[in-house]
Amino acid sequence: MAANDYRAYLRNHIDMEEAPARVSHTGSTHRALIFATLTVMGLLQVASSVAILLHLTGYLREVDLASAQQSPNEEMHSETLIADPLKSMKEKKDRCRKKDTRMPSAHLPIRTANDYSSKDPSPVTILWAENQGTLKKITYRNGRILVDEPGYYYVYAKTCFRYSEVHDFNKEDVSNVQLVQYIYHEKHTQSTIRPILFTKSGGTLQWNTTSYNMYCVEQGRGIQLNKGDGLYVNVSNSWLLDREAEGTYFGTFKISE
């Protein structure tokens, strides 16, 4: 009995001495496992980063290759998309620079080649030398100034008549002659063109048949004109007209809208 108790005591004593050793061994094992786990996680993280880096590097290389292999047509198309708006802006600026800012005007001298030899006292429309005058944004046709741009215009005309002893005329032809200037306004926008007398001036003269004689009529007045409106000048006894450009002329210029 006593022997059994002693053996039990010895086993218990041995177990108590081995217990700390087992606990210490278990703790070391846990630390090793934790370290190994952290190591594996670190390696995985590094591997993942390297994989991402390699993927991005490959993608960028593909982009570079694709850009390098871009076709000429695509490059031209890209350049065209950029150039077209710039070209449009430049053309718009050029149009603004080239825009004609001059006010409409006309000045026409008498056409010297025209035949005014008839002694008929009835009014005759004067024809003007278009190639010797100036026309700015205004049209000339058959003795008429035609307005291209509506607005308020100043219209003027001067006609000179002359007679001298060198002319082979009878005294009765010039003893009591009417020299009158008429300016007419035509509205070409109407279906039926009806000339309207705009202004007139002149007089009845007694010519001195033994020397040189000259008489001039000059008029000017403002008028509102529409696009297409016409203006022309009539004179009586046109056979006495002075054919010098400085003495007989017709014109107009725009003053305002």
Whether residues 30 and 156 fall in one domain: no
Whether residues 174 and 236 fall in one domain: yes
Distance of CA 71 to the CA centre of its chain: 36
Whether residues 155 and 36 fall in one domain: no
Last residue of a domain, one of 46, 78, 96: 96
Residues 6+ apart with CB under 8 A from 226: 147, 150, 187, 189
Per the document, the length of the chain is 257
Whether residues 83 and 137 fall in one domain: no
Strand duo 151-163 + 138-141: pairing: unpaired
pTM of the predicted protein model: 0.60
> Looking at 64-78, 104-118, 155-169, which range is the least confident one?
64-78
Q: What is the pLDDT of residue 78?
A: 54
DSSP states of 185-220 as a string?
EE-TTSSS---EEEEEEEEEE---TTS-EEEEEEEE
- What would the pLDDT profile of 94-134 be if each residue is shown by its tens digit? 665 666 678 999 999 999 878 887 888 889 999 999 999 99
> What tokens does 229 get?
């409106």
Give the CA angle between residues 25, 26, 31 to the nearest 5°.
Answer: 100
Whether residues 158 and 47 fall in one domain: no
Whether residues 118 and 55 fall in one domain: no
Q: Which residue range is the domain that position 32 belongs to?
A: 2-96
What's the CATH number where 187 sits?
A: 2.60.120.40
* Residues 231, 153: Cα–Cα separation, whole Å: 11
Whether residues 85 and 110 fall in one domain: no
* Residues 182, 203: Cα–Cα separation, whole Å: 12
Between 242 and 56, the more confident residue is 242
Average confidence score pLDDT of the chain: 78
- What would the pLDDT profile of 184-224 be if each residue is shown by its tens digit? 999 877 677 789 999 999 998 877 666 778 899 999 999 99
Whether residues 112 and 217 fall in one domain: yes
